[in-house]
Structure 1
Amino acid sequence: MPGPVPHREADLARPRERGGSQAQPIVKGELKPVTVPAADPAWHPLATRLYESLRSSGQADFYQNSDWAFAMSVCDDLSHYKKSMKRSGQMLQTIYSALERLLVTEGDRRRVRIELHEPEDDSEPASVLAIADYKRDLGLDA
Structure 2
Amino acid sequence: MRVAGSKTVKPPAEDRSWHPAAKRWFRALKHSGQAVFYEPSDWAYAQLAADLLTAEMAMEKPRAATIGLVLSMMDNLMTSEGARRRIRVELQRPGLDDADGAATVSMLEKYKNDLAG
Q: How many correspondences in the alignment?
A: 95
The residue matched to 1:50 in structure 2 has which SS? helix
Give the greater-gyration-radius structure (CA). 1
Report the identity percentage: 37
Deviation, structure 1 residue 41? 0.2
1:86 corresponds to which residue?
61
1:28 corresponds to which residue?
2
Q: How far, CA to CA, are the matches of 1:35 and 1:57 in structure 2?
A: 14
Deviation, structure 1 residue 118? 1.1
Consecutive aligned runs of 4 or more in structure 1 exceeding 3 Å deviation: none
* TM-score calculated relative to the size of structure 2: 0.76
2:31 corresponds to which residue?
56
Greater helix fraction, Structure 1 or Structure 2 = 2
Structure 1 unmatched runs, 5+: 1-26, 122-142
Query: Structure 2 matches for 1:64-103, cutoff 5 A?
Result: 64-103=39-78
Q: How far, CA to CA, are the matches of 1:35 and 1:119 in structure 2?
A: 22
1:42 corresponds to which residue?
17
2:104 corresponds to which residue?
none
Larger relative contact order (Cα-Cα within 8 Å, sequence gap ≥ 6):
1
Structure 2 unmatched runs, 5+: 97-117
